[in-house]
Every structure is written in C-alpha cells, then in structure tokens.
C-alpha cells in the first residue's frame, strides 16, 4: 500500500512539473507520509518498476523526478541533481539528471561524480547547494537550453 501511494503521489508531481510547475517548490513541498528506516536502494528498485509499468513514453529526466518524489514520500531525503558533462569545458556538453539520497547516487551506474559537474540540487540540502553550485535561482542563467530550465521557480505543492 505504501509503495502504491508513493507511486501515485510521485506521478502527480511528475505531471505537475511537466505542466509547468517549478521542480524546486514542488519537490521541496512533499511531506513524507512514511518514516524512512527502509533501504532507499530497494525502494528505488520498486518505484522504478512501477514507473516502467505506468509510463511507456517518459524520459529519463521524468523518471528521475518520479523517483525523487516517490522516495521523498517514503521518507528518504532524496534529491534530484542536474549536472553538466565536465569535459568539454567549451561548447556543447551533455546535461543529465540523477537521484541522490544522503549524498549517494542511486539512479544511475554512471560515475557522475567524475564525469559531471552538479549545477542544481532540488530541493537544496539544508547546508545549501553543493560546493561550487549556483543554486536553483540561477538555473536558467546557467543552462537555458536544458528542458525545463527557467521553469523551476518556487511554487507550492500541487493541489
């Protein structure tokens, strides 16, 4: 039951963000319904299975928003991170998103700490953004060509 509730709430958040709601306020406004205590990697696997059954055409970014929201509902301190490929420093670098819980990357097997520079962490951790990261308010200025950039203004949770 808790996984079904988390998946439903996560789907609502993903839909709200795709519709133009800001990720920072929407993900930050999630109230955990369940206490943590369970292993976030196992919860992530269960949520990912539900995502794949629910969405045939979603992007990796949408999946990571869904996973972050679901993990937050389940009581984990999950963060959605947007990063840019470290090399090449000039020109077109790739942008990707990934999910972290307590600073550990869960949603990808890529060595993101080596190959990507975090630009935004949503919601920001209590201590502020990671070292050298501009923060949510500067996202549009950092990467206007990224899908969803500039829409992540603080808003309340979806109703």
Cα 77 to Cα 14, 67, 70, 123, 159, distances in angstroms: 18, 12, 11, 10, 22
Position with higher pLDDT, 133 vs 102: 102
Whether residue 148 lies inside any domain: the answer is: no
Q: How many CB atoms are closer than 10 A to CB 36?
A: 15
How much is the pLDDT for 80?
Answer: 93
Whether residue 153 lies inside any domain: the answer is: no
Whether residue 45 lies inside any domain: the answer is: yes
Whether residue 39 lies inside any domain: the answer is: yes
Q: Is 64 helix (H, G, I), strand (E, B) or coil?
A: helix
Q: Residue 146 — pLDDT band, cuts 50, 70, 90?
A: very low
How much is the pLDDT for 108?
Answer: 87
Mean of the per-residue pLDDT values of the chain: 74
Q: Is the pLDDT of residue 11 over 90?
A: no
d(C-alpha 111, C-alpha 9), whole Å: 29
The whole domain housing 121 covers 2-142
How much is the pLDDT for 155?
Answer: 31
Cβ contact 30:14 at 8 Å: no
Whether residue 115 lies inside any domain: the answer is: yes
Position with higher pLDDT, 71 vs 128: 71
Counting Cα atoms < 13 Å in the Cβ hemisphere of 73 gives 24
Whether residue 28 lies inside any domain: the answer is: yes
Cβ contact 113:81 at 8 Å: no
Q: Which of the residue ranges 4-13, 22-31, 130-139, 146-155 would you say has the lowest mean pLDDT? A: 146-155
Q: Residue 19 — pLDDT band, cuts 50, 70, 90?
A: confident
Position with higher pLDDT, 17 vs 141: 17
Q: How many CB atoms are closer than 10 A to CB 13?
A: 25
Structural domain tally of the chain?
Answer: 1
Whether residue 122 lies inside any domain: the answer is: yes
Whether residue 85 lies inside any domain: the answer is: yes
How much is the pLDDT for 105?
Answer: 92
């Amino acid at each position: 039951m808790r996984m079904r509730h988390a998946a439903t709430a996560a789907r609502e958040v993903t839909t709200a963000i795709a519709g133009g709601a800001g990720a920072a306020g929407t993900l930050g406004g999630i109230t955990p319904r369940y206490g943590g205590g369970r292993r976030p990697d196992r919860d992530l696997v269960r949520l990912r299975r539900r995502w794949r059954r629910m969405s045939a055409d979603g992007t990796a970014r949408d999946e990571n928003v869904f996973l972050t929201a679901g993990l937050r509902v389940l009581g984990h301190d999950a963060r959605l991170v947007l990063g840019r490929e470290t090399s090449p420093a000039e020109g077109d670098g790739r942008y990707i998103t990934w999910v972290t819980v307590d600073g550990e990357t869960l949603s990808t097997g890529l060595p993101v700490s080596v190959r990507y520079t975090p630009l935004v962490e949503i919601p920001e951790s209590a201590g502020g953004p990671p070292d050298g990261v501009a923060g949510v308010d500067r996202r549009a200025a950092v990467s206007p060509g990224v899908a969803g950039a500039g829409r992540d203004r603080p808003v309340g949770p979806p109703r």
